[in-house]
Every structure is written in structure tokens, then in C-alpha cells.
Amino acid sequence: MEQKTGASARTPSLSADEARSAILDRLAAVPGRERVAVRSALGRVLAEAVIAPCNVPAHDNSAMDGFAVRFADLTSGAETALTVVGTAFAGKPFSGIVGAGQAVRIMTGAPIPQGADTIVVQEVARTEGGQVIVPAGQRAGQNLRRAGEDLALGGVALPAGKRCGPAELGLLASLGVAEVTVHRRLRVAFFSTGDELASIGKPLAPGEVYDSNRYTLFGALSRLGCELLDMGVVRDDPAALETAFREASASADVILTSGGVSVGEADFIRELVNRLGQVAFWKIDIKPGRPMAFGRVGDAWLFGLPGNPVAVLVTFYQFVQDALLALSGVAPLPDSPLFEVVCDSVIRKQPGRREYLRGRLVRRGGKQIVELAGAQGSGILRSMSEANCFIVLSEAGGDVAPGDTVQIQLFDGLI
């Protein structure tokens, strides 16, 4: 990364897409891996592909409750009566052979008896004494699950870079895999900056506000499974900030700060990072969240987020979260699709920057529409809590009238 100087203050802003590329193009998974039990793999990122040690399913089996028959015995265009000679269960297969004119009662998951090649579902068949009456219209090989249909022996069950969720744990268990190799957890140091910040549980002095950003970031980082180093509040003092940066860079892979990156007299972070490390950029053409620094201090990556609470969340989820996933070894990064929805609110916007507004996707009159979720000031967290999506307005876009189509980014799966 190119070393920046004080002239970086004159560097033009990046677009949202340029900023995202400038971040992700520089990142690779941090070194280090470990073996963990399957139940400890939830949220962890696979460092090695998991190869199927067996077929899944292990044998041809029935996909339905019904009767295992020989298709060659069925009469085309008419009912067929077959003699029922036994029953097959998932844990207790039928040990005989299905001969001509015979059928076996079979349960879902039970191995297909030798000689049978088709399953007739119980809903269409009827029994009379010791026989089953099969209607016309059956298809050869219907309702069978073949051995290896889900996964074949020796195939890639899960690729390296996959983040394990509940489905992945179940898949690993279905293969009899007890342990997997995962990337080590990402270590993230985070702190807030500002003389005006007070800790929760203490009365506010004149001019103070409670430090909410560290709790917001704690929640966001915890959901990613990072190892956290909460360094508290660092006052607007160059010496204190330098000490905090040096301690954080010595123990963490990533430093995450909030506040101190705008152009105010007490905003020291940009200046310190220029001196202690390198800065790639510190302005993005978005609202909220224009002042955001990205760079490096020692061996740690730095994300200097704005101080306003909503701007912290916007910049975290639009830029930082995917960066942390990339550093954690996730590949490819998960997609966060945009959906087009009719807007039911008046929105004022000047072209030239991308805007992220708090929206609420609702169903009204039989249709899905989106509306603004309360006041949109960058310090108003309540509307963020009431929202379920971002309304994303492009750089080229202007005002939005009720009935116009806008793009939204759902919180579900993002936050």
C-alpha cells in the first residue's frame, strides 16, 4: 500500500464501489488454522475442503412410504395385483428377494430390496388381504434415492472457504466427520474516541453522551465470531491515541475505531495513521458515513469509522463486514442482493453520492412496498432499530416520489 502523507487530506472521495474494491483487493485470509469438533464449527470458516468418505445416501433407498415392486410385473393401462411378502424399515431392511408377482411394504429411507426397482406410494395403492393393488400409470424407478445421489464417495462435500452454518453441521454429521480444519478466529481490537463519551451506568455531565458505538460494534463483531479486544473509550489526546494504536496493532489483526476521522480540530486519527502506518483513503461519496478511513497500522488493518451511530452501522455493513469475512478466509464472499420495490415515501436527494436510508418493507394492499422508517438523522439509532432494510439510492439518482421504484437491501442475512 502506498505511503500517504498530510496531502491525503486533499485526496478526492471514492465512490462506494471504488472504496469496496480498494479494501477487498488488498486483503487475504490471515494465517493460522486449527482442528475443531463439528459442534464447535458453527460460524467457523473451513481451511480445507471436506472430502466425502462415503456415499450419501449409503445405499439405494425409498423416498416414500409405499411398496417396493418390479416394474416389469406392472400391467400397462390396468391395475396389477401383487403378493406382499414382507416389510422393509429404515433400520431393518427386508432380507429376501422380490420375485415375480411380489411386493414388499417399505418405509421411507429403507434400503431397496433385492429384485425391486420401483416404489409405489401408499396413497395410490390399496391392499386386499395379502395383496397390494397397484394402479396403472407408474414409472420405472420412481420414488428411489440412489446411493451417492447427495454426495458421492471422494467428492467435495464442502469447499475450503465455506462458513459453517446449521446445514453444514448436519452435512458433516451425515458423513460421519467428527472434526474439521478451520481458519483461526480473526482478532479485532476496537475503541471509541471522544472527550464527550460517557460509560453506561454513570450520570451524564454537561455536554456528554453515552458511548453506544462500542456496543453496536460488539454486537456486529460477535455475530461474526471474532475474538474481541474492547479497548474502551480513548480521549481526544494524541499521546493516548498513539498508545492505543500501538497496543492494538501489536495484538490484533484488525483495528476498528469510531469517531475522530472527520476534519475537526480534535480529529487526530487520520493524522496519527499517516504517521504510524499507511492510509488508502478516508472519504467515500455516501450518506451517512462519508468520513471513513481505511489503512494499516503495523501489521493490523485499520477501519476508522465515523462517530455518528447510524453512520457506524452503514459503513460497517457496507464495507467492513465483508472485509472481516475475507480476512477470516471466507471465499467467495456472500452476495447481498438488491431488490426493486415501490416506495411509499417522499425522499429528497441530490445526485452525486450513494445514500443509505433506513426503510421498512411492509405488505399493504396485497403488495410489498417500502417506506422510510422514522427520522433519518445519522445520530438516530431508534429508526435503525425500527427498520428492516436499507433503501439504497444510487449516485445518479435524485428525488423519490411515492410510487417510484427504489432498490432495497434487506437486513435479514445482512445484519
pLDDT at position 195 = 87
Please state, as a whole number, how many other Cβ atoms lie within 10 Å of the Cβ of residue 167.
8
Beta strands in 235-276 (DSSP E): 254-258
Dig out the grid coordinates for 5 from the structure: 502523507
pLDDT the model gives residue 335: 84
- Among candidates 45, 82, 42, 54, which has minimal Cα distance to 66? 82
Q: What is the pLDDT of residue 263?
A: 61
> What is the set of domains in the chain, with CATH numbers?
6-32+185-327 (3.40.980.10), 34-56+149-183 (3.90.105.10), 61-145 (2.170.190.11), 339-410 (2.40.340.10)
- Which residues does the chain have with pLDDT short of 50? 1-9, 265-266, 414-415
Q: In the block, which residue shows the cell 451506568?
A: 201
Those residues whose C-beta lies under 8 Å from the C-beta of residue 41, and which sit 6 or more positions away, are: 164, 168, 169, 172, 180, 182
Report d(CA 277, CA 22) in Å as an integer.
17
Residue 267: per-residue pLDDT = 64
**Separation CA 372–CA 390 (nearest Å):** 9
- Whole-model pTM: value is 0.86
Residue closest to 329 by CA, chosen among 253, 230, 229 = 253
